[in-house]
Chain A
């Protein structure tokens, strides 16, 4: 069954068509990567899926339910979760409190404290738990936000450039984590520029260009596609 289905999704800001009749289907259980040059409309597509923007026309179906007009928080309750491009942590609060806020609606009391400890260990942030989140390194902030996003145990996890600013080792570790989450049944849609990461995790890849689906297939098919090389990968690899 398809978990997420975008049907003829349109979004324009004034005369600028940022998303143009996008059709995209995500199967439950897959890791799907969204690539494309800057300004292709990738982040806008995320915002449409999350309900931060509303499409001019078209429909968004999640697990068969039409969520096009639903508020963001209600979509989260349905099983969506996101890590933003710019790490969206609660900067003035401690790392521990960040996780507590993410976890408190699912757990309480002693169980909550245990869940926080478990997640801190999973993220390797135990020694930073009393730190103010704003003082973390960029990579640590990314991990913290990923931790908050996965703590909701979503059915579909949206990752907007999860490895930006990470070293190759950290990128690889993040890839392994995504695969582990996926093995536990989480469907993942990731925007990513790092082709090593895409190659590591993606079951399928969609190339977005000028607000439209430009190409779709396995990573090998995408890399072999000369049209994709011309608009995106060519420059990236040059």
Chain B
């Protein structure tokens, strides 16, 4: 019981913005709105919202590895793709009966994590750091994209799943929950919405606890000064590897949910643009805070979609401009800047009150 309570206390701490009744009331309010929202909307819009939510996991993975850990990784899209293709290959071969899609989800995420163990081991135990980490992970991502792009021929198949080159893999079943009578198929609308929302809240709160724990302390210590962290007796490589693997699993979760959402995945999901976009969301939001990352990602994604609808080809250019502006004006992130400003404002306000 005390263990549970101490977990609960870790929801707040120096590593995460937002504390006290005011913050958690707002959190509850936002959650209530999110829960009620599908009742007042149509299936298509809800499905589109799920699409936004799906990307938050990869953004959080980058927040963890880059924002908290200080290692810039371009590899998140690689894990996204591996898990996405993994889900496709597994479900196309074994179908969706007996809840297999859920097993495939876990298995695909595990494959991405396993790949991260391998890659991360060579990088971190080989003491690759800083810009070189970015280069290696980017190379891996682009290599995977190139590889998948040339799998158009009929010889590129795993069981009954054709990889299909640039055309991508499609027609995998959506996530399906076994149910007495009739299984519940989570098409990209209300059903999937609640599942993804649940996962999102779970991951967000879980990461808050993790980052405010002693593990999180070591992660930010390594970001600030790896040499000092090592000289306090921490095996820096081990901590970096664990963080990297957790991040890969989250990116993989994004990949699986994306694939299940659209029943479609292509090599371009691991391309240069795909690798750069999460970086922009996270940087604009505020990479060193979980809440800023979630809010920033959703805002930028919604803005980006609006732009692609109304301004078409300039959307990507605008993303670049947004990144440059963020770096110049608020290098720690626009959303985080606003949140800190609000925090100072409320602090001043409460001080003045008798």
Contact = CB atoms under 8 A, between A and B. Distances in A.
A49 to B, nearest CB: 11
A102 B221 CA distance: 10
Interface in B211-239: 214, 217-218, 220-221, 223-225, 227-236
A84 B228 CA distance: 9
Given A90-B221, A90-B224, A91-B225, A101 B232 contact: yes
Contact of A89 (B6, B220, B225, B230): B225
A105 interface: yes
B220 A148 contact: no
B14 interface: yes
A101 B217 contact: yes
B232 A76 contact: yes
A176 to B, nearest CB: 24
Contacts of B223: 92
Contacts of B6: 109
B214 A88 contact: no
Most buried by A among B6, B217, B223, B228: B228
A82 B233 contact: no
Given A101-B221, A104-B217, A93 B14 contact: yes
Contacts of A82: 231
Contacts of B14: 93-94, 97
B233 A77 contact: yes
A94 B221 CA distance: 11
Nearest to B220: A93
Contacts of B235: 71, 73
A148 B232 contact: yes
B228 A152 contact: no
B228 A93 contact: no
A73 B228 contact: no
A166 B290 CA distance: 40
B224 A52 contact: no
A72 interface: yes
Given A93-B14, A97-B14, A101-B217, A72 B228 contact: no
A161 to B, nearest CB: 16
B232 A152 contact: yes
A50 B232 CA distance: 11
B230 A88 contact: no
A105 B232 CA distance: 9
A163 interface: no
Interface string A81-112: 11010001111111001001110110011000
B235 to A, nearest CB: 5
A90 B232 CA distance: 12
A88 B231 contact: yes
A72 B231 contact: yes
Contact of B228 (A88, A92, A108): A88
B227 A52 contact: yes
Contacts of B225: 88-91
Contact of A50 (B214, B231, B234, B236): B231
A71 B220 CA distance: 21
Given A94-B14, A97-B217, A109-B6, A76 B224 contact: no
A89 B228 contact: yes
Nearest to A72: B230
A129 B130 CA distance: 30
A113 to B, nearest CB: 12
Interface string A62-84: 00000000011100110001101
Contacts of A102: 232
B227 A93 contact: no
10 contacts: A72-B230, A81-B231, A84-B231, A90-B225, A92-B224, A101-B221, A102-B232, A105-B232, A145-B228, A149-B231
Given A73-B236, A101-B229, 11 more contacts: A50-B231, A72-B231, A76-B231, A81-B231, A89-B225, A90-B224, A91-B224, A92-B220, A93-B14, A97-B217, A104-B217
Interface of A: 50, 52, 71-73, 76-77, 81-82, 84, 88-94, 97, 100-102, 104-105, 108-109, 145, 148-149, 152
Q: Name the 3 nearest CB pairs between A and B, nearest first.
A: A76-B233, A90-B224, A88-B228
